[in-house]
A and B are shown apart, each in its own frame.
Chain A
Amino acid sequence: AQSVTQLGSHVSVSEGALVLLRCNYSSSVPPYLFWYVQYPNQGLQLLLKYTTGATLVKGINGFEAEFKKSETSFHLTKPSAHMSDAAEYFCAVRRGEGNQGGKLIFGQGTELSVKP
């Protein structure tokens, strides 16, 4: 079975500081990995995804994530936080084979607060 664990349900950083949101997954096959962001009363917006190829993935709004197979991790980073980054972030995994269709398995989410 596949699962996703996000370490820390709430992370607080100062504006301009490094953002690091942690995600570990379990999967018996090569995973497809995603990070989504959710602003209050909104749906989910895709930040970035890893399917195959380069393990360092760049996304929107200055975010990036690195797929580390040996550590089963896919942590999300941003060098300098902005106030507008305050939101909830979700890591998700999907199987990379078989006719599993569009089932995403989400972590519990990490709420990011940015202090002025």
Chain B
Amino acid sequence: KAGVTQTPRYLIKTRGQQVTLSCSPISGHRSVSWYQQTPGQGLQFLFEYFSETQRNKGNFPGRFSGRQFSNSRSEMNVSTLELGDSALYLCASSLAERARISNYGYTFGSGTRLTVV
């Protein structure tokens, strides 16, 4: 069974540009979450999508956005990149259910390492 696939693995962008990261969840998983990992702030929740709807959002500026497609694949976009956006962006998928918290774990991808110069 294939795991969570994130592409690309590495990206280098210039300040002011925008970037799109992709995540393909495990087959059958309808929940996809995104996290940002930096040495200073650690792991922080960005947002979660379930059946194409954003169900939960972290405390990030509007430059960070995402979406989920009907096949559960998800993308996140960061516009007007800043140096502080340099981070490892992790995607996680889960067998979460629609109306309640499930007790399933989350499977993470290997991440996309974004460097803003």
Q: Is the CB of A100 within 8 A of B56?
A: yes
Give chain B's interface secondary structure class.
Answer: strand
Q: Roughly how many angstroms separate A100 CA and B58 CA in the complex, as a whole number?
A: 11
Q: Which residues of A contact B110 (CB under 8 A)?
A: 41-43
> Does A12 have its Cβ within 8 Å of any Cβ on chain B?
no
Q: What number of B residues sit within 8 Å (CB to CB) of A?
A: 30
Dominant secondary structure of chain A at its interface with chain B: loop
Complex Cα gap A99–B113 (Å): 30
| Contact, CB under 8 Å: A36 / B56 | no
Q: Which residues of B contact A34 (CB under 8 A)?
A: 105-106
Residues in chain B near residue A116, CB distance under 8 A = none
Which residue on B lies nearest to A48, using beta carbons? B105
Residues of B contacting A42 in the complex (Cβ-Cβ under 8 angstroms): 110-111
Would you give the shortest CB distance from B34 to chain A, in whole angstroms? 10
- A46 in contact with B106 (CB, 8 Å): yes
Question: Cβ of B86 < 8 Å from any Cβ of A?
Answer: no
Tell me whether A51 is interfacial, beta carbon within 8 Å.
yes
Q: What range describes how many residues of A lie at the interface? A: 20 to 34
Known: A36-B108, A49-B105, A101-B48. A106 touches B56 (CB 8 A): no
Can you list, as one digit per residue, whether each of B17-49 has a CB less than 8 Å from chain A (1) or not (0)? 000000000000001010100000011110010
Chain A CB within 8 A of B55 CB: yes
Which residues in B have some Cβ–Cβ distance to A below 8 Å?
A: 4, 6, 31, 33, 35, 42-45, 48, 50, 55-56, 58, 90, 92, 94, 96, 99-101, 103, 105-111, 113
Q: Which residues of A are at the interface with B, using a C-beta cutoff of 8 A?
A: 32, 34, 36, 41-46, 49, 51-52, 90, 92, 94-109
